[in-house]
Structure 1
């Protein structure tokens, strides 16, 4: 599990890193970034709490998200990045159960969710968008606190990818996500090699959303 280089806030994250290592979860994921929010007017480390986290998942483990929630229950933004693995077996019910534990969760970002969904490479952009809208709608129907999803680097090949916001609509008849994902050309210079397979991953700063805390 990669440790943060932001020294003043190491104590905030340290318990999670230690427990993840002790429970044998240190090789399942690493923290790419985390967000902190000040609970009060003070400046001590104890006056801050973790309000967001970007997890890069190598191997799915519901236990990992349960640990994150137990130590950082006030997380409101969570990024699940599966762009660093070729295939990921993630049971939908396990994911929903894990997300439901975060009582303050408002925004979920999925990076490279094609690996999370484990879909084939025969879908065009329209069908790919329909798949992720259905997937996020099913999640929002069971996790009532979520207000929006950000989809990043959703692609089947190195030619293009989809990204954009999907907002949760909670109507009387149904709960679903709505939005249009933008299709973008994937620059070939951003391609990476993972276990001998070429993938693309345009890099950019974390998306800004009204409910997003400050990331470091």
Structure 2
């Protein structure tokens, strides 16, 4: 098995969440709630239109037609396959720091999600070492979400809502893009070039000082699941 891993340079991350939006955009059709509970309708999405009184570009015209709401719906995806969180350090200026951390699924070498799935919907494939889910088998029991220390399995927010519950979805390493020789959407979109995805051997060769943890990353769970993510960790100078 060739194991691919993410490399996240915490020193270069801008905290802009471009990776989050790029992930939502690319994986719009794969999200679990894609056909359920669509909060943005033609009517509700219309509130995002530019007021006609603002002039140029405000009205639908004969050249461009009516404003499309589909692009707006993409950013209303309930699941967050990639997440950027912020951690605050220090209590008094100037010794204060706000440090970002960008993670998705870490495609662990010993995933906590696989053994707890009662219907064997989650597996680890051999070509890239990606942990993938067969949503057609998923029964939305939530066992994988409870087991994963990295919050990778994603469900529509309200699992208690009436009606059908969506299946679990998660980062699949942008498998479809890798098969075409492309980088994952999050990596390709990062303006600070803080993210990379490479085979583990190449990461260690290019970044010999890479660490297995960073500020905000839960070290106590690293040994348990062996996540495939490496870091250039931010340092605190106070």
TM-score (norm 2): 0.24
* Larger Rg computed on CA atoms: 2
Asked which structure has the greater RCO (Cα within 8 Å, sep 6+), the reply is 2
Structure with the largest fraction of strand:
1
The TM-score, its normalising length taken from structure 1, stands at 0.26
